[in-house]
Amino acid sequence: MKPFIITIFFAFAVCNLSMGQDLVYRPINPAFGGDTFNYQWLLSSAEAQNKFTEEDEGRDERSDLERFTESLNNQLLSQISRSLFNEQFGEDGLTEGTFSFGTLFIEIFPSGEGLVINILDTSTGDQSQVIIPN
């Protein structure tokens, strides 16, 4: 029984002598009130852990032949559309009325904002509107 009493006595003595302090939270991230000098360290740490890589979309990896072919196709399509435009609207350009190009239905009329061109694709139902200001 005596060792038990001595153990309890030491336990109370240690508890009496022990001291505590308040726990204070100090944020690390500057966005949440932490020290602003931690910003660079947090940024470099995040970049080091980042497993994603940016794809370089700015580089054009097509060959000269592919770029030339695309340019030639664009010029040919532009020439064809210009000749179709001249056939439909004449040399005077856009005139009021409704026109049909295959599945495209085009309506041209003046408004207070300028010349309005409504384009409707009858096969898909897609619509577009172009306003040419006065």
| Mean of pLDDT over the chain | 82
Residue 130 has pLDDT above 80, yes or no: yes
Residue 68 has pLDDT above 70, yes or no: yes
Residue 29 has pLDDT above 80, yes or no: yes
Q: What is the mean pLDDT of residues 43-59?
A: 80
Residue 14 has pLDDT above 70, yes or no: no
Residue 110 has pLDDT above 80, yes or no: yes
> Which pLDDT score is estimated for 23?
83
What is the C-alpha to C-alpha distance for residues 95 and 109, in angstroms, rounded to an integer?
A: 8
3-state secondary structure the chain: CHHHHHHHHHHHHHHHHCCCCCCCCCCCCHHHCCCHHHHHHHHHHHHHHCCCCCCCCCCCCCCHHHHHHHHHHHHHHHHHHHHHHHHHHCCCCCCCEEEEECCEEEEEEECCCEEEEEEEECCCCCEEEEEEEC
Q: What is the percent of the chain with per-residue pLDDT over 90, rounded to a whole number?
A: 7
> What pTM was computed for the model?
0.39
